[in-house]
Amino acid sequence: MIFSKLLLGVAAVLNPISCGVARTANGDKITSLPGLDKLPSFDMYSGYLNVTSTKQLHYWFVESQADPATDPVVLWLNGGPGCSSMEGFMAEHGPLHLNDDDTISMNPYAWNQKANMIYMEAPIGVGFSKGSPDDMKHIDDDQTASDNRDALKAFFQKFPQYLQNGLFVSGESYAGIYVPTLIAKIVDDQVLSPHFKGAIIGNGLYSWEKNQDSIVRFSKYHGLIDLRTWGKVIDNCCQNGDESKCDFFNYPNKKCQSLVESIVDQTWSSGLDVYNLYAECAGGISRNQMMKRIAQQGRFSFNDVTRSNPTCTNGTALSDYFNNPAVKAAIHVDPSITWTLCADDLNYVTTVQDVSQYIHHALNVVSDARVALYAGDVDMACNFLGGEMFAEALGLPLISEYQAWNYVAADSTTQIGGYIKQFDRLTWLTVKGAGHMVPTDKPIQAYTMFEAFLMGKI
Catalytic residues: 173, 379, 436
**CA separation for the pair 161, 22 (Å, rounded):** 10
Assign 371 to helix, strand or coil. Answer: strand
Asked, as a colleague might, if the bond just before 123 is cis with ω within 30 of 0, I would say: yes
β-pair type (370-376, 426-431): parallel
Residues 362 and 201: their CA atoms lie apart, in Å, by 14
Query: Quick check: helix, strand or coil at residue 171?
Result: strand
Q: Within 13 A of 251's CA, how many CA atoms are on the CB side?
A: 15
- Give the residue from 85, 76, 90 showing the smallest Cα distance to 182: 76
Task: Identify the CA nearest to 63 among candidates 173, 161, 175.
Answer: 161
Q: How far apart are CA 233 and CA 227, in angstroms?
A: 10
Q: Which of 51, 49, 50, 76 is nearest to 62 (CA)?
A: 76
**Angle formed by the axes of helices 208-221 and 227-237, nearest 10°:** 150
Cβ atoms of 78 and 343 closer than 8 Å = no
Pair 86, 117: CB distance under 8 Å? no
Alpha helices in 133-292 (DSSP H): 133-136, 141-158, 175-186, 208-221, 227-237, 254-269, 284-288
Alpha-carbon 353 to chain mean position? 17
Contacts (Cβ under 8 Å, ≥6 apart) of 354: 206, 207, 208, 209, 210, 390
